[in-house]
Amino acid sequence: MGAPSHAVLVILPTYNEFGTLPGVVAQLLRAVPEAQVLVVDDGSPDGTGALADRLAAADRRVTVLHRPGKGGLGTAYIAGFRFALAEGYRMVVEMDADGSHLAEELPLLIDAARRVGGAAIGARWVAGGRIVGWPRHRRWISRTGTRVARIALRSGLHDLTSGFRAIDASWLARLDLGALDSQGYGFQVESAWELERLGCPIVEVPITFVERVGGRSKMTCGIVFEALWNVLRRGWRLRFGRPQGPSAP
Ligand SMILES: Nc1nc2c(ncn2[C@@H]2O[C@H](COP(=O)(O)OP(=O)(O)O)[C@@H](O)[C@H]2O)c(=O)[nH]1
Ligand SMILES: [Mg+2]
């Protein structure tokens, strides 16, 4: 039983998002009524998984993938991507479950990805992009992180860590998901860069990112360090390593 050929799957990774998940699901389904939603919950101690099951029981467009423990944002998305590809979805969306990504901007992302036949990344660090309510240190980490990654990886993108994206599934299918090794947010950098290297057309759409309306960030120093380490490692390989990569035979 595959998805219809135009179908959109919005993946929402959750870890302790009890307070925000219902509003995010309702708003995104209002903005894109034809979308299906996959909540990927990592056994949240606050009961987000059970709440997601109730949302799924009330609306056939919602499905829940339960994982036994906190496995990181990257592995949650990889599980979601595998689900999307197995079910035959055409467009796959990444979105946070904490209210930071505005549902009303979702149609713009999907349209942009369709227009270019590739991916659209909701970008903060481009003209027209905005961040509301983030403390100075979070802005600094995001801005510096994306700059370091851009230089290290010789990327043309301006917001490599953004987690608000729409990706044509035909490009996802070409990604070597097993080669994405960041468990945490470094996954966003790696996956964007791998798509870029594959030749996937990528458009950056300015978004307004709003600090989460409830709950707590899962960002840790370990996650930042892992992302930095993986970026530098890949940058090194790019310059000094033997030719390799997803496009190599
Ligand atoms: N399934 C799953 N989701 C996660 C994990 N870590 C973070 N998330 C979710 O990923 C999204 C972004 O995380 P968040 O803590 O808001 O990051 P921030 O916006 O950078 O502070 C939220 O929806 C989180 O619930 C994880 O280990 N597993
Ligand atoms: Mg957040």
Residue 177 lies in a domain: yes
Name the pLDDT band for 248 (thresholds 50, 70, 90). very low
pLDDT of residue 214: 83
pTM for this model (two decimals):
0.93
Residue 249 lies in a domain: no
Number of domains in the chain: 1
The domain containing residue 207 runs over which residues?
A: 8-240
Sign of CA dihedral 221, 223, 229, 232: negative
96 C-beta closer than 6 A to ligand 1: yes
13 C-beta closer than 6 A to ligand 1: yes
15 C-beta closer than 6 A to ligand 1: yes
* Least confident segment among 45-49, 139-143, 217-221: 217-221
CATH classification of the domain holding 222: 3.90.550.10
Residue 2 lies in a domain: no
74 C-beta closer than 6 A to ligand 1: no
Residue 85 lies in a domain: yes
Q: Which of 28, 65, 75, 96 to mutate to test the pocket of ligand 1 (most atoms within 8 A of CB)?
A: 96
Residue 214 lies in a domain: yes
Residue 1 lies in a domain: no
Residue 239, CB-side half-sphere exposure with 13 Å CA sphere: 9
Gap from CA of 185 to ligand 1 centroid (Å)? 9
